[in-house]
């Protein structure tokens, strides 16, 4: 395999990662307006359960959905603005940290044990585990966008890549 082929495959993989993250974030965000809400997950979280003392379940769902949609839009702007993409990626990292914390606070995540190894339930365990990969993609996207933003001359920081 030539260096050119490897470079093209890497670029394709990066594009799939970035815009796959955009689709997942936007889809989940829109879902919060339709039917998906995170009450079961949030109400067991010592970090976030307080939110239902001040906001309704619907308001929390809409706020999270809006944050996810905004993050997706900002990440998708990478060809136009590395800074906007970095901001969206940072938002996604924070959102995924919150979701990953539910792995440790939500009852029913572990359904059994295979010796010393916990076996995750389909819901919520395996559902939450996917965010480990998503946070990795968001961290990569954040680093790439920050690097592009810093390395480009100020007049080119918002130019297409």
Residue 119 confidence (pLDDT): 92
Residue 153 confidence (pLDDT): 64
Q: Per the omega criterion (within 30 degrees of 0), is the bond before 52 cis? A: no
Lowest mean pLDDT among 29-33, 67-71, 72-76, 121-125: 121-125
Q: What is the pLDDT of residues 64-101, one digit of tens each?
A: 999 999 999 999 999 999 999 999 999 999 999 999 99
Residues 6+ apart with CB under 8 A from 100: 128, 131, 132, 135
Q: What is the mean pLDDT of the segment spanning 120-142?
A: 92
Q: In the predicted model, is pLDDT for residue 29 greater than 60?
A: yes
Q: In the predicted model, is pLDDT for residue 14 greater than 50?
A: yes
The rounded Cα 16 to chain-centroid distance in angstroms is 14
Residue 154 confidence (pLDDT): 59
Residue 159 confidence (pLDDT): 46
Distance CA 152, CA 161 (A): 10
Percentage of the chain modeled with pLDDT above 90: 67
Q: How many CA atoms within 13 Å lie on the side-chain side of 23?
A: 6
Lowest mean pLDDT among 9-18, 57-66, 115-124: 115-124
Distance CA 136, CA 140 (A): 6
Q: In the predicted model, is pLDDT for residue 37 greater than 90?
A: no
Whole-model pTM: value is 0.87
């Amino acid at each position: 395999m030539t260096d050119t082929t490897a470079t093209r495959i890497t670029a394709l993989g990066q594009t799939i990662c970035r815009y796959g993250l955009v689709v997942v974030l936007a889809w989940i965000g829109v879902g919060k307006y339709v039917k998906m809400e995170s009450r079961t997950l949030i109400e067991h979280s010592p970090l976030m359960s307080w939110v239902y003392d001040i906001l309704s379940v619907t308001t929390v769902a809409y706020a999270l959905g809006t944050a996810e949609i905004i993050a997706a839009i900002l990440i998708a702007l990478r060809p136009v603005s590395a800074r906007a993409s970095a901001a969206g990626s940072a938002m996604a990292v924070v959102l995924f940290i919150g979701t990953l914390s539910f792995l440790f606070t939500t009852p029913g995540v572990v359904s059994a044990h295979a010796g010393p190894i916990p076996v995750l339930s389909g819901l919520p365990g395996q559902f939450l585990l996917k965010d480990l990969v998503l946070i990795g993609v968001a961290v990569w996207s954040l680093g790439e966008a920050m690097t592009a933003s810093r390395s480009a001359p100020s007049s080119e920081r918002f130019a297409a890549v």
